[in-house]
Amino acid sequence: MPIIHADVCLFDLDGTLVDTQYASDCAWSNFCNRHKVDPSEIMNSSGPGITGEFIRKHFPSLELGSDEAVQELEYSVAYDYLDSVRLIPGAKKLLIDLNTNSLTKNKFIKPRWAVVTSGSPYLAHMWFRTILREVGTPEVFITASDVTKDKPDPEGYRKACFELCNLWDSSMKDAKKVVFEDSPQGIKAGKGVGATVIAVTTTFEKFKLYEAGADYVVSDLTGVHVKKNTFTGSIILDVQDPLINQSN
């Protein structure tokens, strides 16, 4: 059972903490049908993202402005299909445990974890107002609007680590970082800040995740436990039954 010491824990969101794939697919399908575009052409592209750039590329004759289209799609995901959005198993418990002093059982005012997502501020914050409302929005929350470069560039993780270390008056240089991810791009970003990376197989097969540099791969977050989390010293995590890296 691997034991990991961490000063900060950094989480990707989509595919790592929440599963929005079905909601996103439904929103795209309805959007395509309304605007007379074959949904299969969009769904077969390499992961349609709800961005103005993607919409301008694939809907060149759209009368709706790209910003308005993004808002329409995001609203549809968040409201029309909210019931189909799911938590990754183990995610809520892990975050609540990171919010809680393991000795006193009191809630930290400034937990040592952050979200680093390539998603929009609107949707990312929406999940913490709905299915993750019991956890609460972390103080450090990095979205696409906070960075100039997307993953695999480590900018987002570097920024989150810097902000968390400032909150705790600790050295970013010496901070032990753990990143939770579901994609090769995200794993590379995590490794780019010198983090130990725990990846979940919610989106990609384990060999792809190990190939990208993941240190541990798990099916979901039920096997990741907080053993110690206090004001002093490192957060201590254990990873139960990580999937075997067969390339070793």
Burial 122-145 (b: 16+ CB within 10 A, else e): bbbbbbbeebbeebeebebbbbee
User: Other CB atoms closer than 10 Å to residue 14's CB: what's the count?
Assistant: 23
List Cβ neighbours of 114 (8 Å cut-off, separation of 6 or more).
8, 9, 10, 11, 138, 139, 140, 141, 142, 160, 161, 163, 164
The answer to whether residue 241 is catalytic is no
Q: Residue 136: left (phi > 0), alpha (psi -120 to 50), or beta?
A: left
Q: Single out the catalytic residue among 80, 83, 174, 238.
A: 83
Structure tokens at 212: 């990208």
Structural contact between residues 226 and 94, judged by C-beta atoms closer than 8 angstroms? yes
Q: Give the active site residues.
A: 83
